Amino acid sequence: MVKDYDTNALKPFDFENLKTKIPELNLLDSTIKTTAFENPIDSSDMSPDYWIKIAAIIESNYEEVDGFVVLTGTDTMSYTASAMSFILENLGKPVIFTGSQLPIGDLRTDAKENLITAIQIAGSVENGTPRIQEVALYFEYKLYRANRTTKFSAEQFEAFQSPNYPNLGESGVHLIFNEQFLERSKKDLPLKVQKELDANVIVLKLFPGIQRNMVEHILNYQDLQGVVLETYGAGNAPTDSWFFDILIKTIERGIPVVNVTQCISGGVLMGLYETSTRLKSIGVINGKDITTESALAKLKLMLGQKIPFSEFKQKFEMQIRGEMS
């Protein structure tokens, strides 16, 4: 976005004049092609339908370019970037998400540096091979695995963290990549875009004093297909019998329930405490150290693939894009 200084309102950036607005891009040894939605949206309006549109743009240009930079609003960027990591199977080229905390026309904007470096990362090769072969997120001098990120600050330029996985790289005087933490693609496999996502997934965050009728109302939603359950600490939940009765009935309906922690770092350790042992015994899925954003996206993808319920738990607990330890 850019600011209209006549009205002080934000309006969509005109990418046709990208190099005019950011002349530093002319210093990059890259040919830059841009595309944008005809009607840009606020990132708060992001939905799986737009995820598929972004993936379709990448798919249609995949053979023609060396890498992609995707610009979205920061509020839902971790959700979108995580989803893209699951939607794009056999990815062998970089897909780098970035954006900014301040609009590109602001005096102190972080947009220029984020965009310039993201493009440089997307074009970085070694011995003819892309340095990055996965979906990543670049923000404020750091490159992260996209499906390991979460937005933690609405105020700081360093808006994102990857609490359970090391940075993939860092931008200083030189671009430094942490090779040992990078995903490498399986050679000679064509890009496959998974376009079937199930929309009927909810996130249920536990809190002290949560009431039976609240949980029943949410989990009795007729079209419900999957649940991300945000529990306390290492995966703990209330010990009330009614709570477990509702979860048992939900799972018996063939609805997978994934246990993730509310904590920003660490993960679920099913069986460490008595309450999580009981969750494990009734068939709740161990989300380990996956983020809520990533768990939601992975659940939507796996449900869209129509994986049988009898296989669902085992397959979800296996990492497929480096999203969990």
Domains 2-193 and 201-316 share a fold: yes
Q: Does domain 201-316 have CATH number 3.30.70.20?
A: no
The model carries a pTM of 0.94
**Nearest by Cα to 100 from 55, 35, 171, 43:** 43
- Identify the architecture of domain 2-193 in CATH: 3-Layer(aba) Sandwich (3.40)
Residues 46-103 pLDDT 10s: 999 999 999 999 999 999 999 999 999 999 999 999 999 999 999 999 999 999 998 7
Q: What's the confidence (pLDDT) of residue 6? A: 82
Which residues lie across from 162 on neighbouring strands? none
Dmax (CA) of the chain: 64
- Predicted confidence (pLDDT) at residue 296 exceeds the cutoff of 80: yes
Residues 217-269 pLDDT 10s: 999 999 999 999 999 999 999 999 999 999 999 999 999 999 999 999 999 99
Q: Where are the domains of the chain?
A: 2-193, 201-316
Residues 175-195 pLDDT 10s: 999 999 999 887 779 999 999
Residues 150-172 pLDDT 10s: 999 999 999 999 999 999 999 99
Mean pLDDT value across the chain:
93
Q: What's the confidence (pLDDT) of residue 132? A: 97
Token output for 280: 């494990």
**What are the start-end ranges of the H helices in 62-193?**
77-87, 111-122
- Predicted confidence (pLDDT) at residue 272 exceeds the cutoff of 90: no
Token output for 184: 């490498």
**Nearest by Cα to 110 from 147, 77, 67, 155:** 155
**What are the CA-CA distances from residue 313 to residues 124, 206, 292 (Å)?**
38, 21, 17
Q: What's the confidence (pLDDT) of residue 104? A: 77
Count the neighbouring beta carbons within 10 Å of the beta carbon of residue 147: 31
DSSP state of 189: P
Which run of H or of E encompasses 243? helix 241-252
